[in-house]
Structure 1
Amino acid sequence: MHIEIATLFPEMCEAVLSESIVGRARRAGKISLHCRQIREYTLDKHRRVDDTPYGGGMGMVMQCEPIYNCYKAVCQELGTKPHTIYMSPKGRIFDQKRAVELSGMDNILIICGHYEGVDQRVIDKIVDEELSIGDYVLTGGELPAMVVADTVARMCEGVLSDEVCFTDESIYSGLLEYPQYTRPEVWEGEAVPPVLLSGHHKNIENWRHEQSLKLTAERRPDLLAKYNAENK
């Protein structure tokens, strides 16, 4: 998979996406990821990429041309049109199901807005979908873009050591993950649940499932209702 991030702050994205699992996967060639500076695609001698909004109002709006030129450069280099995402609080809420779907694509371009957003005309022309990571407003699209890139990248083949590393996690299975424990066996007078020390894999599996059901019922009843409906 190849992921492009078009942004005014590529160094910010690189700082995060060069570390940990995603960073190792990039260095090992399991995924390809490029953070592209939108200012490099403006024809303005001052590298300006924004202007005041028509109709008045506070703030600045990112112009069509630099974003469109960046998009065309990506298409030319890839030899194909990437699936293009604009990170926006007006978009569909990003979830694990959509992450799984995106992980099956070959090329993704994520556009990060800033200031008061992006001229609607370029969104209408090149964007395939708008995504949001929650019902709140951030300074720009960089943090959401990194969330999407990390979530999608870790499900690509070879990024994690085994598929179970993500299929057994919270949300992916439809339930919240069960509690986890490690050494020492007793800490501050609290012992690890005996079933986890039993070596009886079926009992451990049942206990973990029961814990997941319990936690999901307590904290995310909406997820439990959806899980029950899908597993009738």
Structure 2
Amino acid sequence: GVLMLLTAAVILGGIRRIAEVASALVPLMALSYLLAAGTILYLHCRELTDALHLILVSTFDPKAAAGGVMGGIVWTAIRFGVARGIFSNEAGLGSAPIAHAAARTNDPVRQGLVAMLGTFIDTLVICTLTALVILVSGLWDDGANGAVLSTAAFDAGLPGYGAYVVSLGLAVFAFTTILGWSYYGERCAEFLFGVRVIWPYRLLWIGAVPLGALGKLNLIWLVADVMNAMMALPNLIALLFLSPVVFRLSRASD
């Protein structure tokens, strides 16, 4: 109920209020997370070399590759890897351009570079730091996964504080994701049905928040994976046709 009320208070104010809330929460969340991860890695700098060595050895270990092929789990690993990667940065879905299209700029190439910076920070910086924290904590093979594993690793690195950093970060991330995707859907609904659909759409979105919070996690993941694939396929096809435009604008900006 609280999450629904907070969502309503923001999205009923439109894109300006969404931008104000997100611009205040997201940098604070990211900086807190990066500071906590950096502190843990500094305190465990001796284990950092072993963690990097483990990553490299596991990557090029022929036994692991052969076991994956023989066990028939390669396709499963690829599917989950791609699905979770999309959740990390939304690359290829065509969703982030909706927000970047609302930016006040006359230079599409520069705005595209800003969009790519978000993918770099999400995937290469934050995800890499998270992986290293999990490895130096020594909990990477204890059977846990997902948010439970990340929370345990941060709490082991910063006892009494790490778990709160991850929990608050996840809460802020989930809240701002709800806000961002509400705007994406609103723009698409307006394009298809006109401005008259905006307020009914916002009310339906607010009403759906408790359903997502109380639904079964496996079902939600399954629905999200299917819907993401349905967005990615037409968007990737469109990118192929638009690639000449991208190349032309990129060359013109050099």
Query: TM-score if structure 1 supplies the norm length?
Result: 0.27
Structure possessing the higher radius of gyration over alpha carbons: 1
Between the two structures, name the one with larger relative contact order (CA 8 Å, sep ≥ 6): 2
Of Structure 1 and Structure 2, the greater strand share is in 1
Of Structure 1 and Structure 2, the greater helix share is in 2
Query: TM-score if structure 2 supplies the norm length?
Result: 0.26
